[in-house]
Structure 1
Amino acid sequence: MLQSAQYSLDMIQDEARELVNKGVVSRQQPIYILCQFIPPREWACIECELERCNFLLRDRIGDLMGREEWEND
């Protein structure tokens, strides 16, 4: 879980990727679902960073994660 007071888009994407890989959330779910896994006092900072990077909370987690590269596809 994210614990730093400073959040970058990369950190948020890594957290989303980890939750998807664990099967806790789906790539098809909206980004706002992530707030269930992040303390409320920290969510406000994450929300600001997402908005700064032009993400809407209704966008899909898959959009946030971006394009993934596979070694042996």
Structure 2
Amino acid sequence: MATTVKYDIAAIKEEVRQLVEKGLIDRQQPIYALCKYIPGRGWVCVELELEENDFLLRDRIIDLLSKEKWQED
């Protein structure tokens, strides 16, 4: 029995936040850059979820990071 991973928009945003914090992706890269970090079958689900939430693959990663917390120096 195969396990299906549900990619909802909140989970996608959290994954993106973690990838940015680790320095694996940059805020200015297109959302399409995420495909390197999401397994092939899952990517189709991610694309559909992004589309349903009005995101395009050419949009920037920063668009998924709607509310970032900034620490003052």
Q: Structure 1 stretches (4+) deviating beyond 6 angstroms?
A: none
SS in 1 for 2:24: coil
Q: Percent identity?
A: 51
2:52 match: 52
TM-score in terms of structure 1 length: 0.87
Amino acid at match of 1:29: Q
1:62 match: 62
Residue 39 of structure 1: how far off its partner (Å): 0.6
1:37 match: 37
Larger of the two Rg values belongs to structure: 2
TM-score in terms of structure 2 length: 0.87
RMSD of the TM alignment (CA)?
Answer: 1.5
Separation of aligned partners in 1, 2:4 and 2:12: 11
Gapped runs of 5+ residues in structure 2?
none
